[in-house]
Structure 1
Amino acid sequence: MSASEKAKATTEQAKGKTKETLGNAVGNERMTAEGKIEQSKGEARAAKEKASDAFKR
């Protein structure tokens, strides 16, 4: 996994988790949902890169 893609994936996951937690704390369902979506995007990016690395070997 390239370092920049790994960093993007980790950042997306962290931002999503923060947004989800904040949404839960203030009772904002939309923010909570957006946080979950962002986390999923980060997880998908990480999975894509891991699969790409597996095929390179």
Structure 2
Amino acid sequence: MAQKGEKVRILRKESYWFNEVGTIVVVEQKTSTYPVLVRFTKVNYSGTNTANFKVEELTTP
């Protein structure tokens, strides 16, 4: 299971941050579709530097 503060690589191909490394900020304990919030150093086209992912879409770098 993913833990807060852990560095992860993104595996979701349609994500702006595909293959980028980010830091886990929050892991929700409730049943949610995308329970892991990841923060990145670079921003996307809309100026956002965070996104939610499934645990299966993350791997350790």
TM class by smaller structure: under 0.3
Which of the two has higher C-alpha Rg? 1
TM-score by length of 2: 0.23
TM-score by length of 1: 0.24
